[in-house]
Amino acid sequence: MKLIYLLSLLLIIPSINLFAQAKTEQDIDVAYQNAKKGIYWALSNIPGKKSTMDNDLIAEDKLYASVKLSKEVNGVKVSSVGYYQTNQVEITIYKSYESLKTEGYNVPSSGWGGD
């Protein structure tokens, strides 16, 4: 009887840990997806005259991402923090204006070097 009890405990405890890890992994993935949405939003909304832009993406009374875009020499730097419940993930990317044009983004011509 004790042997059956011990075996059942040994089977249940690892499955609880696996569930907790899977839940954490899913939460981090959702936060990562929200951070990516912030990156795509910023690249699609590069300001023409401003050198920096800060914005929060909010829907349904929830903060999905905080985005910061700054124009650098010959390109942009975009930082996005994605949120989901108590998790947050930050992504920072650097893109040259030439690669932005190649990828089809609307790049303002003023202040972008040799346009």
For the chain, what are the domain ranges? 2-102
Q: What is the pLDDT of residue 106?
A: 82
Give the three-class secondary structure for 1.
coil
- List, in sequence order, the alpha helices (H) in the chain: 2-44, 97-102
Which band of pLDDT confidence, cut at 50, 70 and 90, is reported for residue 49? confident
Output DSSP code: residue 51: S
Confidence of residue 115 (pLDDT cuts 50, 70, 90): very low
pTM surpassing 0.85? no
pLDDT for residue 66: 97
Higher model confidence: residue 95 or residue 21?
A: 95
The pLDDT of residue 19 is 59
Q: Please choose, from the candidates 84, 78, 80, 44, the residue with its C-alpha nearest in 3D space to the C-alpha of residue 64.
A: 84
At residue 113, the pLDDT reads 45
pLDDT at 59: 93
What's the pLDDT score for residue 28?
94
Taking residues 17-29, report their average pLDDT. Answer: 79
Residue 111 in tokens: 């202040």
